[in-house]
Amino acid sequence: MPHWDAPVEEVIQWAKENDLECLDLAPDAESVRKVKSAGLRIGTVDFLDWASKKNMVTANKASRQESLDANTALVESCAAFGKINYFVVMLPEDPTLPPAENYQYMLEFLHAIMPVMESCDAAISIEGWPGPGALCCTPESCRKLFFEDIPSKHLGFNYDPSHLIRMGIDPYRFLEEFGEKVVHVHGKDTEFNPERLYEYGDTLRPMNAERFRFGDIVWRYTIPGHGVMNWHRGFTLLENAGYSGCVCIEMEDYNFCVSKEGSQKGALLGCGYLEGC
């Protein structure tokens, strides 16, 4: 879905008018009810506080319990509306700690909430956005989590190839290894600027160049079809892995997301491109 600040009723109406089938939602049971009542599918519902408090991955047990209680209430309040995927990025409260230490705090939270996900037939959808200290962004950490520590169908990956691409990770090989763990897909791509790559390289900070909005010095996020991802190949791999969930446009392309109208246009262009893949 496009990213703009609007009442859910407005977004539902716009989606139906444009023959869109699926929406990603904020953590609100009433919005879930309204989307389901409108006959639309739900891609993911955000977990609470993962971006603001970052209290899922913390040494503070009381903070982890606070997150566990709040998100348990959210999952249980939405359980009546069918199976739902809950979106989260595993950002640590303290990104300066060793990754292995933060990983253990994350495991404690996930082990505590998994019985809730199982009883409500819900799933956690972890996106690999490589924010400060983020966990489960690379094959190394995903392999350990999804296949060794918590090999559950109620814990999966939110496949967003734009993040893999900008980190230099092969998005197709990733699907070959982790496709069975994908529970949701973001329709977002990455474009590299060859002139900037020549001028500044990809290691040192430049003296004068400004970062792209929704990007960095040499790359930026785009709608599908405006970046380097081969979506036909990606969809083939997803289909081979048995994926039958949603693909939702995450609008972080600065050519479009500067306005509501631009976000809508970008989302429709991205959906139209994916439809042809």
Q: What integer best gives the mean pLDDT of the chain? A: 96
Q: Report yes or no on whether pTM surpasses 0.85.
A: yes
- Helix crossing, 61-78 with 29-37: angle to 10°? 30
Are 105 and 63 within 8 A, CB to CB?
Answer: no
- The arithmetic mean of pLDDT across residues 46-58, rounded, is 96
pLDDT of residue 2 exceeding 80, the answer is no
Residues whose CB is less than 8 angstroms from the CB of residue 277 and which lie 6 or more positions away in sequence, other chains included: 224, 231, 232, 235
Structural Rg of the chain based on CA atoms: 19
pLDDT one-digit tens code per residue, 227-267 = 999 999 999 999 999 999 999 999 999 999 989 999 999 99
Q: Strand, helix or coil at 44? A: strand
- pLDDT value at position 99? 97
Give 198-250 as a DSSP string: HHH-SSSPPSSPPPPTTB-SSEEEE-TTSSS--HHHHHHHHHHTT--S-EEE-
Question: All domains of the chain, ordered by start, with CATH?
Answer: 22-159 (3.20.20.150)
- The arithmetic mean of pLDDT across residues 62-91, rounded, is 98
Q: What are phi and psi of 137, to 5 degrees?
A: -110, -20
- The arithmetic mean of pLDDT across residues 1-7, rounded, is 64
pLDDT of residue 61 exceeding 50, the answer is yes
In whole angstroms, give the CA distance from residue 189 to residue 219: 10
- pLDDT value at position 5? 72
- Amino acid letter, 16: K
pLDDT of residue 22 exceeding 50, the answer is yes
- pLDDT value at position 4? 59
Per-residue confidence at 3, pLDDT binned at 50, 70, 90? low
- pLDDT value at position 6? 84
pLDDT one-digit tens code per residue, 170-224 = 999 999 999 999 999 999 999 999 999 999 999 999 999 999 999 999 999 999 9
In whole angstroms, give the CA distance from residue 53 to residue 157: 22
pLDDT one-digit tens code per residue, 140-176 = 999 999 999 999 999 999 999 999 999 999 999 999 9
Q: Kindly state the tokens that stand for 110.
A: 């996930």
